[in-house]
Amino acid sequence: MAEAHQAVAFQFTVTPDGVDFRLSREALKHIYLSGINSWKKRLIRIKNGILRGVYPGSPTSWLVVVMATVGSSYCKVDISMGLVCCIQRCLPERCGPYQTPQTRALLSMVIFSTGVWVTGIFLFRQTLKLLLSYHGWMFEMHGKTSHITKIWAICVRLLSSRRPMLYSFQTSLPKLPVPSVPATIQRYLESVRPLLDDEEYYRMETLAKEFQDKTAPRLQKYLVLKSWWATNYVSDWWEEYIYLRGRSPLMVNSNYYVMDLVLVRNTEVQAARLGNAVHAMIMYRRKLDREEIKPVMALGIVPMCSYQMERMFNTTRIPGKETDVLQHLSDSRHVAVYHKGRFFKVWLYEGSRLLRPRDLEMQFQRILDDPSPPQPGEERLAALTAGGRVEWAQARQAFFSSGKNKAALDAIERAAFFVALDEESHCYNPDDEASLSLYGKALLHGNCHNRWFDKSFTLVSFKNGLLGLNTEHAWADAPIIGHLWEFVLGTDTFHLGYTDTGHCLGKPNPMLIPPQRLQWDIPEQCQAVIESSYQVAKALADDVELYCFQFLPFGKGLIKKCRTSPDAFVQIALQLAHFRDKGKFCLTYEASMTRMFREGRTETVRSCTSESTAFVQAMMEGSHMKADLQDLFRKASKKHQNMYRLAMTGAGIDRHLFCLYVVSKYLGVKSPFLAKVLSEPWRLSTSQIPQSQIRMFDPDQYPNHLGAGGGFGPVADDGYGVSYMIAGENTIFFHVSSKFSSSETNAQRFGNHIRQALLDIADLFQVPKVES
């Protein structure tokens, strides 16, 4: 094979005259350039480590301090108050490079200045951490900022005025606080009150009080100890026990999907769109490695934790019999590609140079044009990642631990990410309501064997050029992949562009090494395991009902006229819709973030409150005056906003109880209260999808450049999963999932209830609506 020969730097044969070397100059050139590129990355990481380590200081500020100390000495002013002299006396005499008094004095001043500089950085960081621990600004009325908050904002801006790198604020972020047990118990009981009758509530209250008085104090001590020692008392246990120890299939149950821009189409050439997207992704990875991405800032001044971004690329979830492991590599120079049952390895670099979009388009087109058939067992191989984790772990150990199978699997698992070239087309047609749902289903599970569900994300490319992502959940939460996706879509549209014929700009290099076909030797026993995993995955996929729709009558702009937050408006509408759908209330999960704390991930907002249920019941009765309904709605909205703020500031309910439960398991302590709490099903699981984390373009100038967000499968077998994106001022996208096997749920029916609930609440405030 030509590519195999070009990959060899030199060959040799032994002859009677000695050893005959045959050097390949081209291969040696690529090896040399790769080495140079590797050393550049090391130097960049060292430089970034220094700059990050001294933030908010800088090498320039160190030089200023040294010059000030030396300058004052020449002016006969001792700003060190004798410390320079003390340092000078401690230096060894008549040895080394500082034999003269002038050299010794200069070295002493440099040491003193460095000490002052380091002390200053430490004090600045501690002050910034203290300032970032203040969350009073979140609880103030919009437009009514207190003097304390104004002074706080000025101080934060002053201490973080120097341009930060991606991880500059990490050591200045406060730790996630451990709430007090009584506060958590009180909030928990308050959250379940509308879901229980008086007798059930009394039993739960009794269990809670017994836990609070007898078991909790011991568990809490261990948790507080962990919070002192660990960076975050929740995140490592959350990742391990909620994600990595899960033995059910990742597909539908854990992985989620993200959609493309749905109202505009840049090109219909599949390989071209993919060429631009992959190039943009590697550009993003380069910025990530160099820490050139700006940290996400709330209100433009409060930094969010960025640690989840570290494992975005070059990451794979490795299956285990008891627990999985996240394998993260520092670098990867290729992507793995799936097309028509075949796997390929595509290099992203030529030497040290990133391939241009036109070159990548050519490489993907070569795969599309390749007529070779799949090898035995290859076509459905990826179904192993879609089935049970134990079965996949056993198969991996038995059939992929040596030989060509191991080499091929390594090529996939060590890839920067996975690319799926689909043969079908999908798009959003506003005149065809089912089109968005079909698109979502294709992203969520595909045909159960054309996504590598273990990779940090799979980039899905449809035949008509539409893209999407299927993302593994353990390594990070949705806002992280959303940050990447916004960059990719913005770069593709506004920076890279296409020719008039829809191809990438520039000319391809036909001398590039073609994509490498991965070779497998899959025995019949392994093929049987693959088929079994495929059947499990197919049954799971066929059971998922997904209903995606665009709500057109109004969006964020008109909701604000109700003087409430858009998120609270939608959440209360979901409560009304769910009661109309099932005739009862249920435990409701809304994901919020805790990224204002170091290594923070998520917290649960229990959206079904006494206030929201009171409003829903009043709406259902139909006999209340509009003013009374408005008042009930505002109370429910205020309650929801307060709960969301508490969750974001570390005063949530569920993560604290989860960690107490983990400690109880370690200690072998049985708690009926914790067992009851952790077994309660979330029959309505919801999440708002963030947008505009990166301002790549002006949405007012390009109103049709809207992504439709993404979605996930239902958490409970008899429940709903709902994700929504408030896409600008005039529209909202919803993704509703349920299971066909449940007689209690119907995703489309619930979606229609959501539509009507939004309209009914808007009518209370006489919000004018646009006809859809």
Query: Alpha-carbon distance 758 to 748, whole Å?
Result: 16
Phi–psi pair at 80, nearest 5 degrees: -85, -5
Q: Which ranges of 470-523 would DSSP assign to H, the alpha helix?
A: 478-491
Long-range Cβ contacts of 577-583 (<8 Å, 24+ apart): 577/750, 577/753, 577/754, 577/756, 577/757, 578/684, 578/720, 578/750, 578/753, 579/616, 579/620, 580/620, 580/753, 580/756, 580/757, 581/746, 581/749, 581/750, 581/753, 582/744
Reduced 3-state DSSP string for 674-695: HHHHHHCCCCEEEEECCCCCCC
Task: Using alpha carbons, select from 451, 270, 277 the residue that is nearest to residue 365.
Answer: 270
Per-residue CA distances from 609 to 187, 198, 555, 682 (Å): 11, 16, 24, 14
The number of angstroms, rounded, from the C-alpha of 523 to the middle of its chain's C-alpha atoms is: 37
Contact (Cβ atoms closer than 8 angstroms) between residue 357 and residue 496: yes
Amino acid at 557: G
Query: Alpha-carbon distance 642 to 135, whole Å?
Result: 12
Is the Cα dihedral 753, 754, 759, 761 positive or negative?
positive
Contact (Cβ atoms closer than 8 angstroms) between residue 281 and residue 469: no
Catalytic residue among 473, 578, 640, 705: 473
| H-run or E-run covering 317 | strand 315-318
Query: Alpha-carbon distance 446 to 382, whole Å?
Result: 11
For tokens 């290594």, the residue is 599
Task: Using alpha carbons, select from 363, 350, 349 the residue that is nearest to residue 286.
Answer: 349
Tokens (6 digits) for 9: 């730097």
Query: Alpha-carbon distance 313 to 326, whole Å?
Result: 12
Query: Alpha-carbon distance 669 to 214, whole Å?
Result: 11
Is 5 among the residues known to form the active site? no
Query: Alpha-carbon distance 547 to 56, whole Å?
Result: 48
Residue 123's contacts (CB-CB under 8 Å, 6 or more residues apart) are: none
Residues facing residue 307 across a β-bridge: none
Peptide bond into 182 cis (omega under 30): no
Which residues are the active-site residues? 473
